[in-house]
């Protein structure tokens, strides 16, 4: 099994560098472009949410990944306030563009791009775990 692990202070520039690095790691590990993109996007959205709403912008978060034959599994640990990414509003898709609200897209993407999305809070940290399926036969 191939593993990746790092820690990050979640600000926009660091998140961008990390997700770029994750994409490179996954592609070099034989993961298809679509799954590699989606894993990077899930990490980007969760860490951005921590940076924006977590309340502890200087506290480091941890990111670990495992490349498995049929999927990529990930775990993100952060010290922000308790927040379950499975909850939250669904973006407003029915409203005309002129009136459409812009929020809620990030967590909607996280929920749509993952086949498994779990959350627990151990009293000190949030732990978000997720899986993104790989496309079989594609590297």
Partner 1 sequence: MDVSEQQVGRVWVVTARGRLDGATSGAFAQRVEALVTGAEPRLLVDFSGVEFVSSAGLRVVLALLKKVKGVRGSFALCAVQPAVREVLEITGFAGMIDIHPERAAALTALS
Among 1, 87, 102, 136, binds partner 1 (CB under 8 A): 102
Which candidate, 110, 43, 111, places its Cα nearest to that of 78?
43
Among 113, 117, 131, 132, binds partner 1 (CB under 8 A): 113
Distance CA 127, CA 70 (A): 23
Among 97, 123, 124, 137, binds partner 1 (CB under 8 A): 97
Q: How many CA atoms lie within 13 A of 106 on its CB side?
A: 16
User: What is the token pair recorded at 136?
Assistant: 């079989």
Per DSSP, the three-state class of 130 is strand
Q: Strands (DSSP E) along the chain, which ranges? A: 2-8, 61-67, 71-78, 116-121, 126-133
How many CB atoms are located within 10 Å of the residue 20 CB? 12
- Shortest distance, CB of residue 69 to partner 1, whole angstroms? 21
Interface with partner 1, residue 73, by CB under 8 A: no
Q: By C-beta, is 99 or 122 nearer to partner 1?
A: 99
Please report, as residue ranges, which positions from 7 to 36 form the binding site for partner 1 (by CB under 8 A): 12-13, 15-16, 19-20, 23, 33-34
Residues that bind partner 1 (CB under 8 A): 12-13, 15-16, 19-20, 23, 33-34, 37-38, 40-41, 44-45, 48, 91, 93, 97-98, 100, 102, 105-106, 108-109, 112-113
């Amino acid at each position: 099994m191939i593993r990746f692990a790092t820690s990050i202070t979640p600000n926009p520039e660091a998140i961008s560098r990390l997700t770029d690095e994750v994409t490179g790691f996954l592609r070099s590990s034989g993961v298809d472009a679509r799954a590699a993109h989606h894993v990077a996007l899930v990490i980007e959205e969760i860490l951005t949410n921590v940076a924006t709403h977590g309340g502890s912008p200087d506290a480091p978060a941890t990111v670990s990944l495992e490349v498995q034959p049929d999927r990529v599994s990930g775990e993100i640990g952060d010290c922000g306030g308790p927040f379950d990414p499975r909850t939250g509003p669904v973006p407003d898709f029915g409203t005309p563009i002129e009136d459409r609200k812009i929020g809620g897209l990030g967590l909607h993407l996280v929920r749509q791009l993952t086949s498994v999305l779990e959350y627990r809070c151990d009293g000190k940290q949030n732990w978000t775990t997720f899986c993104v399926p790989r496309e079989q036969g594609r590297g």
